[in-house]
């Protein structure tokens, strides 16, 4: 079973940027989002609030990780690779804090969609895929860093957040907000776009009523605004605004 999971992890490590959006779009297209929970619009609204809070917690966790100690998770040539064993910052709290943040974002998006099949299947599928990716990374790190990595694994949990270690692991470090924007603006953008698109899908699933026209227009305007802001940040990055940050970690 482990060998199979390693192969799955290696595959998705290489193709996750293409595969993950396709999986989400397929799930959301196959199953319509909910408009009421057990006939209650109020319960649906509270569910959406909880979902958005889960998404925000994932984005906040990712921002905290990147703001203190960023590592390139893309590997080398789309293969698992690490030049150094990073254990400071949030990596002293959890071995995979970026992946935990990602899972919170995905779980929140699935919950926001609301269809039970999407929530259950989406969370289980992405949880399994990330576990496979982590196993593939651990295989590489264990072989490269040996006893140092084994000691790190004994002290820092794989998925859980050892918050008691946060103060010590970030001691002397300065949170870099500009690096968060430079490195994670695309994740923030795609998350907001997914939320807005899902909400528009929910409103327009049958037909947009007269009462919903203004709301649908607002969603469209926000969607365009997010796309435009993303383009602006991308343009600034290409012009070298964030060049001094690339050497930070």
Q: What is the average pLDDT score of the chain? A: 89
Going by pLDDT thresholds of 50, 70 and 90, the confidence category of residue 203 is: confident
Complete DSSP assignment for 76-113: BTTB---SS---SGGGGT-S-HHHHHHHHHHHHHHHHH
Residue ranges per structural domain of the chain: 2-173
C-alpha 241/C-alpha 245 separation (Å) is: 9
C-alpha 90/C-alpha 68 separation (Å) is: 7
Q: Phi, psi at residue 79, to the nearest 5°?
A: -120, 155
With CA atoms as reference, report the closest residue to 87 among 162, 140, 149: 149
Q: What is the pLDDT of residues 104-148, one digit of tens each?
A: 999 999 999 999 999 999 999 999 999 999 999 999 999 999 999
With CA atoms as reference, report the closest residue to 186 among 54, 21, 9, 69: 21
**Beta pairing partners, 79:** 76
Q: What is the pTM of this model?
A: 0.90
Q: Is the pLDDT of residue 71 over 80?
A: no
Q: Is the pLDDT of residue 40 over 60?
A: yes
Residues 6+ apart with CB under 8 A from 158: 94, 95, 96, 134
pLDDT for 247 equals 40
Report, at the CATH architecture level, how domain 2-173 is classified: Up-down Bundle (1.20)
Share of the chain above pLDDT 90, in %: 68
């Amino acid at each position: 079973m482990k060998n199979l999971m390693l192969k799955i992890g290696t595959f998705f490590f290489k193709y996750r940027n293409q595969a993950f959006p396709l999986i989400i779009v397929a799930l959301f297209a196959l199953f319509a989002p909910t408009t009421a929970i057990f006939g209650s619009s109020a319960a649906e609204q509270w569910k959406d609030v909880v979902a958005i809070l889960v998404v925000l917690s994932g984005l906040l966790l990712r921002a905290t990780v990147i703001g203190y100690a960023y590592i390139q998770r893309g590997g080398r040539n789309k293969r698992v690779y690490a030049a150094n064993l990073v254990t400071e910052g949030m990596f002293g709290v959890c071995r995979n804090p970026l992946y935990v943040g990602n899972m919170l974002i995905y779980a929140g998006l699935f919950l926001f969609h609301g269809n039970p099949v999407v929530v259950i299947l989406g969370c289980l599928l992405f949880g399994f895929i990330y576990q496979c990716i982590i196993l593939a990374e651990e295989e590489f790190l264990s072989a490269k860093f040996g006893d140092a990595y084994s000691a790190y694994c004994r002290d820092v949990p794989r998925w859980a957040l050892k918050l008691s270690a946060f103060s010590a692991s970030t001691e002397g470090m300065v949170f870099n907000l500009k690096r968060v924007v430079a490195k994670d603006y695309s994740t923030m953008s795609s998350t907001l776009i997914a939320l807005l698109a899902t909400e528009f899908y929910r409103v327009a699933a049958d037909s947009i009523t007269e009462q919903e026209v203004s709301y649908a227009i607002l969603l469209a305007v926000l969607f365009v605004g997010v796309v435009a802001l993303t383009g602006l940040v991308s343009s600034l990055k290409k012009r070298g605004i964030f060049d001094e940050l690339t050497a930070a970690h």
